[in-house]
Structure formats: structure tokens, C-alpha cells
Amino acid sequence: MNYCDNEIWLAAYLDKSLPEEDHRLYEIHLSSCPNCLAELIAAKAELDEIIAEESEPVRERTGAPAQSRARFFRPVPAAASISIAALVVFTSVFLLLRHVPRGDRDVMEAQATVSGILAAADIGEMRLSGGPEGPVTHSAVYRGPGEAAGGPAGRTEKALKTLLETHPNDWRVYAMLGDLYVAINQVDRADNFYAQALDLNPENARLLNDRAVAAYRLGDFDSAHTRLAAALEADGGRLEALYNLAVLFHEKGDRRASRQYVDAYLLKDPLSPWAERAKALARE
């Protein structure tokens, strides 16, 4: 499914009109697609500017030109390929975005940054809930400036800890710090932040899955298994947990159990790059 550059999906998600499974899958996409998150954030920023300009009553009463309206509702050339229906949907996205609180936008901006770092990091065989949409090759390990204090990872760590001061009870910030530390191979610290996130949201399948990834990286297969099983129970078959159980049993040498989880995963996600990796896992 191509969610990118698809205003209809974005509008339906924001309007909460997607079916439950589509809503969940789209959230998975948003958590791992910096471009879509950036589009949403940019749209909200422009909308704020439009609202601010159009809320000047003196300009309206004096008949001053409404420049923001002219910018937003540009004339559509007759030869334009965009349909009127698509234009209506695009407009609705802007109107819906005005309801995204500032604090949520801060968190979303941080998530976009962390997702970009994860996309350039080899985090191992298992899937993070906030990770990329496909496996990262082992040659793509996040190195060099990302591990320096002034590099992307260092700046992101500092920004997230600042965000934590203003959002001390937001489990998402703790989860992002966990993701960041997994990306730069500080897995003990990642596990600690996932644990704090779970203290705030103990039944969250994403957090259970991601802490299982940390446990697997630390060699604690029993804890990884327990948390992945809890993730499945909490979310009725979360994709990442199914995939990760296949990896876990493969690593433990139980090929039969691994293949069962591969088959269950492929029923839900037969076409993605992760599906190709799951098929390869079953053949190994």
C-alpha cells in the first residue's frame, strides 16, 4: 500500500474515519516515514499562519486584500491534472490539522528525526515498531558523526531530553529515547527508557515489542519471548511481534515454530520488504 503523497489516506486518518486495522497500519507507516510526518507538520505550520493572518479584523473591515486566502486557494489552471475532489480533500487536511496541539507537534517532529536515524542504522534482525519500512542492510550501520555529541544522534538525544522536561508523563518521548539508543547501540540505556515508557503505558503493544527487541539484543531470549507474547495479546496480532517471534525461534533453533510465525506474519503482510525477509528467514 502506497500511503505517501496520498491526501485521501491522510485526511481519513485525521478524521478518524479509517477502519481500525487500516488506522493501525497507517500509524505504523507514519511512525517510520519522516516525509509523511514532515508533510503533516508543515501543513499545520502553514495553517497556523493562515489563521493568524485571517484573524485580523481591521484588515477584513477595511477591505484589505486577504493575502492568505489568495495563497491558499490559488486558481487552478484548466489543464491542471488535480481533480476538484482531490482539492477538497487536500483542503480538509489543512482544516483538520488545526486541531493538532502544539505539544503533539513537538513529539511528531521528534519522531520524524528519530525515524530518520533508524533508517540509517542496522539495529539487528528484529523489527522496532518505530523502525523503517524495510530491513536495513548490515553495511548501513550508523557511524561517525551520529555517535559524536554534536552529530545527529547527539543533537536528537539533547532535544528529546529537553522535550522530556516539558512532557514528563508522555510515554512516546521515553519510547523515542529507547529507539535512539537502540540505533546507536546503547541497548542497556534503551531498555531502561522502554521500561519507563511501559510504567506509564503498561499494556502498549508497541512498547512491549520494542522492549523485547532490546532484550533480544542483550541476549535475554526468555524476556524477549515473554514480551512478544504480551504484545500479541495486547494488540491481537501486531505485525512486528509476529515477525520478531519468527526471528526469535529461528535464533533458538526451533525452525518449526519459526515457520509458523512466518506464515502467520505473511498472511497479514504479504508484500512489504519485511515479507521478503520473512520468506528468506523461512528458507534458512
- pLDDT tens string 48-61: 566 566 555 544 44
Query: How crowded is residue 161: how many other Cβ atoms within 10 Å of its Cβ?
Result: 11
Greater confidence (113 vs 187) lies with 187
Range of the domain at 145: 102-283
125 belongs to a structural domain = yes
Give the Cα separation of 223 and 220 in Å (integer): 6
Question: Would you give the distance in Å from CA 162 to the centre of its chain?
Answer: 20
Average model confidence (pLDDT) across the chain: 74
- The pLDDT, as a whole number, for residue 207 is 93
253 belongs to a structural domain = yes
Task: Count structural domains, the chain.
Answer: 2
- Residue 114 confidence class, pLDDT cut points 50, 70, 90: confident
- The pLDDT, as a whole number, for residue 260 is 94
Same domain membership, residue 243 and residue 160: yes
Burial (CB < 10 A; 0-12, 13-18, 19+), residue 28, is: buried
Same domain membership, residue 148 and residue 50: no
Using one digit for the tens of pLDDT, what is the confidence trace for 221-280? Answer: 999 999 999 999 886 557 899 999 999 999 999 999 999 999 999 998 898 888 998 999
With a cut of 80, say whether residue 3 has pLDDT above it.
no
Contact yes or no for 86/7 (Cβ under 8 A): yes
Burial (CB < 10 A; 0-12, 13-18, 19+), residue 78, is: exposed
2 belongs to a structural domain = no
Sign of the dihedral through C-alpha 121, 123, 124, 128: negative
27 belongs to a structural domain = yes
DSSP string, 179-238: HHHHHTT-HHHHHHHHHHHHHHSTT-HHHHHHHHHHHHHTT-HHHHHHHHHHHHHHHTS-
Q: Which of 97, 126, 145 is the last residue of a domain?
A: 97
Same domain membership, residue 173 and residue 151: yes
Same domain membership, residue 258 and residue 121: yes
Using the 8-state DSSP alphabet, how is residue 56 labeled? -
236 belongs to a structural domain = yes
Question: In the predicted model, what is the mean pLDDT of residues 93-110?
Answer: 55
Using one digit for the tens of pLDDT, what is the confidence trace for 135-186? Answer: 766 544 444 334 444 567 888 898 899 999 988 999 989 999 999 999 888 9
1 belongs to a structural domain = no
Please, which residues have CB within 8 angstroms of residue 105's CB and are 6 or more apart in sequence? 41, 44
Q: Which of 39, 71, 97 is the last residue of a domain?
A: 97
Q: Which of 44, 64, 97 is the last residue of a domain?
A: 97
Same domain membership, residue 13 and residue 124: no
What cell was used for 68? 492568505
